[in-house]
Amino acid sequence: MADDRVNYDEISRVYDEVRGVDRAVIQSLLNGVDLDASCAVLDIGCGTGNYTDVMQRLMQARITGLDQSEGMLAKARAKNGQIDFRQGDAQQMLFAGASFDFVYMTDVIHHVTEIGRLLGEIARVLRPGGKVCIVTQSHAQIGRRPIAAFFPATVAVDTARYPDIPQIVAAAAAHSLAFVREERLGEGEPTLYGQPFLAAVRARGYSMLRLISDEEYRRGLAQVEAQLAQGDLAVPKAGKTLIWLQK
């Protein structure tokens, strides 16, 4: 499933320094479904389990985390031993059909090589009436990312990797997953970029920084270092898009 140009076991060592939990996303996920202890939830591409951990603590349903990277899963298991973490490919899942009431994925779909296969598998493992939430970014949001000001080459890299919203909706419909609604969160909200951001950039902890040339990376890093030497940088967020689907 994952882009083989990026070593996610290597990234797992710095992932938690880069990827936190967006509280607005958590709230939307919780608000979007009505689940009880009999329900089952699947977090696809759970990584080090940041969202999986929080969701398990806040909801009654049983939750399973799926990821291809053992490095990511080792960190996830250390965070929460109550969660069933599995290694596997979301384009060819080993779960039985109609196993889950809710499937979600956060900042994952751009790592998938064939979104049709992924959505077909989600439709297979989802129970009738079950919901799906795909958390991603539109191409417009990618262009507005603060990091793009320093690393403009990342815009082309990620608009090539990310399917845009209409493409996801169309692929879902082809597998009998009906579009319910689209939510856009955090667009334009002010945020501060400081030393944690610099540390993440230095570690090349964002996957798109590993897909631009070394020259472009060094040039952008120098700009980040120069800017943050003057203090934290206040910038508007690009925001996220949540696509809600139902079987």
* Residue 224: C-alpha distances to residues 41, 128, 219 (Å): 39, 48, 9
Question: What pLDDT, on a 0 to 100 scale, did the predictor assign at position 1?
Answer: 52
Query: Is 139 a member of any domain?
Result: yes
Residue 75: inside a domain: yes
13: Cα separation from own chain's centroid:
17
In a domain, 201, yes or no: no
Buried-exposed string 158-177: b where 16+ CB fall within 10 A, e elsewhere: bbebbbebeebbebbeebeb
Residue in 204, 221, 217 with CA at minimum distance from that of residue 6: 204
Q: How far apart are CA 247 and CA 244, in angstroms?
A: 11
- If you count DSSP H runs as helices and E runs as strands, how many of each does the chain have, helices first? 11, 9
CA–CA distance, 185 with 23 (Å, rounded to integer): 10
CB 225 within 8 A of CB 193: no
Assigned domain for 212 exists? no
What residues does 182 pair with on adjacent strands? 243
Q: What is the pLDDT of residue 19?
A: 52
Asked if residue 214 is part of any domain, the answer here is no
Q: Which amino acid is located at 150 in the chain? A: F
Phi, then psi, of 98 in degrees rounded to 5:
55, 45
Q: How many domains are there within the chain?
A: 1
222 in a structural domain: no
Residue 45 maps to a domain? yes
Encoded tokens for 235: 């910038």
Per-residue pLDDT tens listing for the chain (247 residues): 544 554 444 433 444 444 578 899 999 999 999 999 999 999 999 999 999 999 999 998 999 999 999 999 999 999 999 999 999 999 999 999 999 999 999 999 999 999 999 999 999 999 999 999 999 999 999 999 999 999 999 999 999 999 999 999 999 999 999 999 999 999 999 999 999 899 999 999 898 999 999 999 999 999 999 999 999 999 999 999 999 999 9
CATH code where residue 73 lies: 3.40.50.150
Q: pTM for the complete prediction?
A: 0.89
3-state SS of the chain: helix, strand, coil percent to 5? 45, 25, 35
Question: Is there a domain that residue 73 lies in?
Answer: yes
Per the structure, the complete domain to which residue 94 belongs is given by 8-188+239-246
pLDDT at 60: 85
